[in-house]
Amino acid sequence: MVTGFGPFQGFDENPSQVGVERLSGLGLQGLETRTLTVSNEAADAEVREIFRDPPDLLLLCGVAGNREWVSVERVAINVDDFRIPDVAGEQVEDMPVVEGGPVAYLSTLPIKDLVGDLKEVGLDGRISNTAGTYLCNHVMYLALHLAAEAGGGTRVGFLHVPPDPEIAVKAIEVSARMLLKR
């Protein structure tokens, strides 16, 4: 499964949603897509909903407004500390994503291979060691937590795309195709 995020402050159209919708249009076998809401409460419920019937693999995608490159995230931390309010107007500060959860989780996707495949098609793919402390980190942490609790059957990772929709579309397609092959 591949997810993007919907609109939020600064992005009336979220390039991660554009990328995931384009990917969905390709009709790749075995692929499911979803769009998550940029809201603490809604996104949390949406990720929990996904894990009612856990996919083999979950690639979560979002936009990083201040990065021109494609970030393959390595780590999610147990911190919600929103710089801006979410779409429901909630601005969580210094709270855990999961009360009592471990400090952090590492991506369970082959992150170096993903970076390699992105570079192969001419994209500036890089490993990132922080997904921030907003919704993207939140859903990555929660998904890794739920996957771990369920016994580790779902591999989970996060891709932060740059604001340029063309790059976002290409990065999401290349990553999804690579992961479907594994």
Q: Which residues are catalytic?
A: 73, 136, 160
Burial class of 30 by CB neighbour count within 10 A (0 to 12, 13 to 18, 19+) = exposed
Among 1, 23, 31, 63, binds ligand PCA (CB under 6 A): 63
Per-residue x/- mask for ligand PCA, residues 116 to 135, rule CB under 6 A?
A: ----------------x-xx
Q: Are 24 and 33 in contact (CB under 8 A)?
A: yes
Q: Are 161 and 70 in contact (CB under 8 A)?
A: yes
Tokens for 10, please give them.
Answer: 């600064």
Q: Does the protein bind ligand PCA through residue 2 (CB under 6 A)? A: no
CB closer to ligand PCA out of 7 and 101:
7
Q: Does the protein bind ligand PCA through residue 64 (CB under 6 A)? A: yes
Q: Within the chain, where are the H helices?
A: 15-25, 40-50, 111-120, 135-149, 165-180
Size of site (CB under 6 A) for ligand PCA: 12
Contact positions toward ligand PCA, by CB under 6 A?
5, 8, 14, 16, 38, 62-64, 132, 134-136
